Amino acid sequence: MLAIDAAAYRSPWRRHHPAAKALLAGGLLGCALVLPPWPGAVVTALVALAVALCWARVPARTLLRAARTPLGFALTGSLTFLVTVGADGIGWADGGPRRAGEVVARCGAAVLCQLLFAGTTPLADTLPRLVRLGVPATLVEVAALIYRMLFVVLDTTRRIRDAQAGRLGARSLQATWRSLGGLGSAVFVRSFDRARRLEIGLAGRGYTGALTVAVEPIPLRTPFLLAAPLPAALAVTATLALERLL
């Protein structure tokens, strides 16, 4: 199990309805997208971080590990704003650092808002309820199967890497590349075989196009529902106040 999923199952917000948590995180996400990058995105990121660490009590290490990959993509992509390509060649773009900073600020705030929801709400609580909102059941089932297969792929990858390391598969650069090629092909073949066996198993159990699962009832608590919009309101208020001061 991924660390962010384990944190969601252990979260003190585990017993709150996913709709209320979606309202809270979605409100902050809207602030990250609508408010100006400075100071709006920065304020939204700070509010989301404070809510995640202090109110939802998501472990800081788990939050950092989950955020580093998407933030790395955002930082890498923002570097393209620093240069311009023209008839005279490659040069520094006018206003490039400002645009790069805006992209990183918005992406950082949006990532923290999404991780706030992911770190407090297991996917098993969310997917079955999407059908009630009008999402096609087939799409929800495909997402659930991909989610379950993901852990199988990760476990297979870990086992193969351990076996390669035990056989000195990384003793040189050439051996490392050879091991990576073997790892990719083995994971693909085993994942394809596991998916085929899963399809055969579902057909043998009379699969008719719908996977019926038991959905644990979670009450929609009024105090938490009323408090859910407060972080977004705080972000908007703080942004407007800072704009007046600056």
217 phi/psi in degrees, rounded to 5: -70, 130
| Residue 187 falls inside a structural domain | yes
Q: How many CA atoms lie within 13 A of 71 on its CB side?
A: 17
Residues 46, 145: one domain? no
Residues 35, 113: one domain? yes
Grouping H, G, I as helix, E, B as strand and the rest as coil, residue 85 is strand
pLDDT at residue 209, as a whole number = 65
pLDDT at residue 100, as a whole number = 87
| Cβ neighbours for 118, distance < 8 A, ≥ 6 positions apart | 4, 8, 66
Let me know: does 116 contact 48? Beta carbons within 8 Å. yes
The enclosing H or E element of 4 equals helix 3-10
32 burial (CB, 10 Å; 0-12 / 13-18 / 19+) is buried
The parent domain of residue 42 ranges over: 3-121+218-245
The enclosing H or E element of 214 equals none
Q: Alpha carbon of 71 to those of 23, 55, 183: distances in Å? A: 24, 23, 27
In angstroms, the CA 114 to CA 237 distance is 21
| Cβ neighbours for 1, distance < 8 A, ≥ 6 positions apart | 151
| Residue 213 falls inside a structural domain | no
- What are the structure tokens assigned to 228, written together? 């859910």
pLDDT tens digits, 70-102: 889 988 988 888 888 776 777 777 887 888 888
In angstroms, the CA 37 to CA 41 distance is 5
Residues 145, 86: one domain? no
| Residue 228 falls inside a structural domain | yes
Grouping H, G, I as helix, E, B as strand and the rest as coil, residue 90 is strand
- What are the structure tokens assigned to 244, written together? 């007046």
| Residue 232 falls inside a structural domain | yes
| Residue 211 falls inside a structural domain | no
Residues 15, 116: one domain? yes
pLDDT level of residue 46 (50, 70, 90 thresholds): very high
Residue type, position 207, single letter: Y
pLDDT tens digits, 124-136: 788 877 877 777 7
Of the chain, the percentage scoring pLDDT greater than 70 comes to 96
In angstroms, the CA 21 to CA 83 distance is 40
Question: How far out from the chain centre does Cα 14 lie?
Answer: 18
In the predicted structure, residue 211 carries a pLDDT above the cut 70: no
In the predicted structure, residue 44 carries a pLDDT above the cut 90: yes
Name the domain count of the chain: 2
